[in-house]
Amino acid sequence: MSAEEKALVDRCRQGEDDAWRLFVDQFGQKVYSVAYHFTLNREDAEELSQEIFLKTFENLHRYDGTFPLVAWLLSLSRNLCIDRYRRRKRERSFRFVSDDAVAPLLKSDDDPAAEALKKERSKILFSVLAEIPEDLAEILVLRDLDGLAYDEIGKALDLPDGTVKSRLFRARAEVARRIRERHERRGSAGAFQALAVAAGGVL
Amino acid sequence: MTCSELERLFASGASSEDARRHRDACATCRATGADADVAEEIAATLRAPEMPSSLRASLIDIPRRTVSCEGAERLLPLAVENELLEDDERRLSSHLSRCGGCSEAAATLLAVRDLAEPIAPPWLAGRLAVARPEKRRRSLGWLFGPKSVIVVAYGAAVVVMLLGFNPADLARRVGSGELGQSTRAAVLVAESSITDRLGALQEKVARTLAVWKGHAGGYGRAAVSNVVSLIWKTSGSKQREVERPRNRDGRGALRERETTTTSWRV
């Protein structure tokens, strides 16, 4: 797989337009998804995606094919995301997630009540992600929202697979615990139970 | 009360059956596991947002908007020579705005170009115009100076002698008529010239040796004189010491005046 990806990168380096188009089609959606989950804003996500791909194109010679291209893309763009969005915009946007921000993330549903519930649930999720430690939130987003494999996350963040899984477990538990506590403080434990049932959880 | 067994099982990739068995047995992990399941389910209901088609088109266009670091390496030499096409200049500029390494390289190269074109002070042109012909004459003139001619002549004579050419033998051959008339005349001229030169050289060497002999003789005489004086001084003191009158106490100590006088004599 990496050999094929290395060949694709080499063709891009030689200036083949078809190869670069294939590269964009193969990884554009993934990068945009990562960018959107970082920013929760369409314009910012597009801008960030542009920056990530510009950086990628300019640094193609650094890819040696030793690990998956997605992981390399992620590691290359990670500092960019952190520098430009995490410390400033992400925290702010995650604490006050708007309906518009989560709307592109929701699958369409014929039932308006279910649609509203999903929207509310997504907003709570991102709000809690802003509260938990960064290293936990990052793993959860990359795995559960972006759908990256454990080894891709491990290579991108330079972590062993066991550490990735351990952090993921703690991140999920921490997020769920905080959601429950938030609802209990408001005296709406029943709402959380309904949320859990709707999500298919076991409570 | 805490238990991290469920987390350990998850991290180690244990089967879901093992995890389920532990959750059934441990109340803490049952609650934690349920929380984790809820969070996972919530996240799973979300989807990745669709990438806009305008963004895709823009991403595909990137090679026409910038260059890679490798491309920058190829364009920078042209940039230094101001020979970049307009498109390439824009792409390179876009790259330099994001790449610290290439930007530094470009700045250094451009700085070198500036160093190669110093602004001459106004007085320099006139000074160079005056200095140039004199410098040229001086550089070639030494070849034709009298010293050079003498050096070349001496060098040639030494080479001829080293090769085994004997002027006396040549003279003998000239005398015995073994050579043609014109050759003989040329040989005679050369012989007289070489003889004169060698004679002059011999005379000069003899004079130099005489001078150095004189110097050496002078230095030698002075050195011998000093040594003799030193010996004479030492032996004279002893002699006087022996001949001097004894003190009244008979221990032979010199009087102050006598010692001084002896020193002065030497």
Residue B243: is it exposed, middle or buried by C-beta count within 10 angstroms (0-12/13-18/19+)? exposed
Q: What is the distance between the alpha carbons of residues A5 and A68, in angstroms, rounded to a whole number?
A: 8
Q: Return the residue in A36, A55, A58, A120 with the most chain B beta carbons within 10 A, the one to mutate for interface testing.
A: A58
* Sign of the C-alpha dihedral computed for residues A97, A100, A105 and A106 taken in this order: positive
* B134 pLDDT higher than 70: no
Strand partners, B46: A106
Long-range contacts of A91-95 (CB under 8 A, 24+ apart): A91/A130, A93/A39, A93/A40, A93/A41, A94/A40, A94/A126, A94/A127, A94/A129, A94/A130, A95/A127, A95/A130
| CA–CA dist B171, B187 (Å, integer) | 8
pLDDT in tens, A49-98: 998 999 899 989 988 888 888 888 888 777 777 766 655 555 544 555 66
User: Is A12 or B12 the better-scoring residue by pLDDT?
Assistant: A12
State the amino acid at position A147 in one-letter form: G
C-alpha span between A139 and A165 (Å, rounded): 9
Question: d(Cα B71, Cα B66) in Å, to the nearest integer?
Answer: 9
Which residue does chain B place closest to A181, by CA atoms? B35
Q: What is the pLDDT of residues B36-86, one digit of tens each?
A: 787 787 777 776 778 899 999 999 999 999 999 889 988 988 888 888 999
Of B11, B43, B69, the CB nearest to A59: B69
Q: Please name the residue that has the structure tokens 């500029």.
A: B93
Chain A residue with Cα closest to B92 = A58
**Stronger pLDDT, A3 or B47, i.e. the higher one:** A3
B226 or B249, which is more confident: B226
| Closest chain A CA to residue B95 | A58
This complex has an ipTM of: 0.73
Q: Specify whether the CB–CB gap between A110 and A188 falls below 8 A.
A: no
CB contact under 8 A, B10 and A169: yes
| A29 inside 8 A of chain B by CB | yes
What domains does chain A contain, in order, with CATH numbers? 1-95 (1.10.1740.10), 99-203 (1.10.10.10)
In this prediction, residue B237 carries a pLDDT of: 47
**A180 and B CB contact within 8 Å:** yes
The pLDDT, as a whole number, for residue A173 is 87
Judging contacts by C-beta atoms under 8 Å, the chain A residues touching residue B41 are: 196, 199-201
Give me the amino acid identity at B118. Answer: P
